[in-house]
């Protein structure tokens, strides 16, 4: 069937609500308004205000309520409007959700799922469009996932709800309108493994989330030059699936990491370091990184496009690792 990324997530939420009476959705405007990105449209009428809960405009309060509900045995899905706003709930996420299992000696778990939009590309400017998932990937006790395909948008939620620990799902804003074919009975998917989205032999392009489509475009352009690029979709940012990454890079002997976060202190920097630590002698060229410019995301479209990774920049980086110019 033909479906959008937004509809795939809505289907996943609906299935979870139907499947388990402990599941409920809470967040700003998720009820009567239908969600900031229309993901929860129609769910209030279907499931009622006990299961689809509009919250006050206080991320710290409603994320904390979600953590408390998870401690009490519920399976909350907490929707935060954008990753920038999640910073108002950092104390709850980092100091509570991520640590309670450890601090209780394993007596308590926090099976909460926190969904949020991330990334640039819709002219929402600097307070609504940053890619901060790499920050959260720094924190032990959290699982960080970034669905980039319809299958993952549809299937990651249920798997996340079955996890006894907190899972943060980052949905890139530019993907909500992405449309494609999805099997009608598509179900839960793995959230432990990276996926090779395109096989190749000359260079590994490693990416995730909203940059996957651009990276596949770059791989297609490189193929026109006779360069075979392998595309690895990380899917889970914490814990990283290093065996898949290492297998790809060991085969191609070159790596380009595409990460919409800023280069300084980035997830791309972490992957680069691990490759140097674990596969240094397999590399035939320095690792390349294509990241966002070190600026707040601009509002004007031409500046926003210039600030974040684009296919042409990925192609140029790949060509450079192969010693090619032009």
pLDDT tens-digit map of 214-236: 999 999 999 999 999 999 999 99
Instruction: For the chain, give the longest Cα–Cα distance.
Output: 60
Answer yes or no: 282 catalytic: no
Q: What is the CATH number of domain 2-181?
A: 3.40.50.970
Q: How many CB atoms lie within 10 A of CB 249?
A: 23
Q: Are 2-181 and 195-321 in the same CATH fold?
A: yes
Chain centroid to CA 305 = 20
Among the listed residues 7, 28, 59, 260, the single catalytic one is 59
b/e map of 132-144 (b: 16 or more CB within 10 Å)?
A: bbbbbbebebbbb
Among 7, 128, 130, 260, the active-site one is: 128
Q: pLDDT tens digits for 115-134?
A: 999 999 888 899 999 999 99
Give the pLDDT confidence of 34-80 residue by residue, as tens digits.
999 999 999 999 999 999 999 999 999 999 999 999 999 999 999 99
Confidence of residue 183 (pLDDT cuts 50, 70, 90): confident
Instruction: Respond yes or no: is residue 128 known to be catalytic.
Output: yes
All structural domains of the chain with their residue ranges: 2-181, 195-321
CB atoms within 10 A of CB 74: 16
- What's the CA gap between 235 and 129, in Å, rounded? 20
Total-model pTM: 0.96
DSSP 296: P
Domain 195-321, CATH number (from 1.10.260.40, 3.40.50.920, 3.10.20.90, 3.30.479.10): 3.40.50.920
Cβ-Cβ contacts under 8 Å for 79 (sequence gap 6 or more): 25, 26, 27, 28, 30, 35, 39, 40, 114, 115, 116
- Helix-strand-coil split of the chain, %, nearest 5: 40, 20, 40
């Amino acid at each position: 069937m033909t479906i959008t990324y937004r509809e795939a997530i809505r289907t996943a939420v609906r299935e979870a609500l139907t499947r388990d009476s402990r599941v409920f959705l809470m967040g700003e405007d998720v009820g009567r308004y239908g969600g900031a990105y229309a993901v929860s449209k129609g769910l209030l009428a279907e499931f009622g205000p006990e299961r689809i809960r509009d919250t006050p405009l206080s991320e710290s309060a409603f994320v904390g309520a979600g953590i408390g509900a998870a401690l009490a045995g519920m399976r909350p899905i907490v929707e935060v409007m954008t990753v920038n706003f999640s910073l108002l709930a950092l104390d709850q996420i980092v100091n509570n959700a991520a640590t309670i299992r450890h601090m209780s000696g394993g007596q308590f778990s926090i099976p909460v799922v926190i969904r949020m939009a991330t990334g640039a590309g819709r002219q929402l400017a600097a307070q609504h469009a940053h890619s901060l998932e790499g920050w959260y990937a720094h924190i032990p006790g959290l699982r960080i996932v970034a669905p980039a395909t319809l299958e993952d948008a549809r299937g990651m939620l249920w798997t996340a709800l079955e996890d006894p620990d907190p899972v943060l799902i980052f949905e890139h804003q530019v993907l909500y309108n992405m449309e494609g074919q999805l099997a009608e009975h598509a179900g839960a998917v793995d959230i432990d493994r990276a996926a090779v989205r395109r096989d190749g032999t000359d260079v590994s392009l490693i990416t995730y989330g909203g940059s996957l489509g651009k990276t596949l475009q770059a791989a297609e352009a490189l193929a026109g030059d006779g360069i075979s690029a392998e595309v690895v979709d990380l899917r889970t940012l914490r814990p990283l699936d290093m065996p898949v990454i290492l297998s790809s890079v060991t085969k191609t002997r070159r790596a380009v990491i595409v990460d919409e976060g800023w280069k300084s202190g980035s997830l791309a920097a972490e992957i680069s370091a691990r490759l140097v630590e674990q596969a240094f002698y397999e590399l035939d060229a320095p690792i390349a990184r294509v990241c966002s410019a070190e600026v707040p995301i601009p509002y004007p479209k031409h500046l926003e496009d210039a600030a974040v990774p684009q296919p042409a920049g990925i192609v140029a980086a790949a060509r450079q690792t192969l010693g090619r110019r032009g």
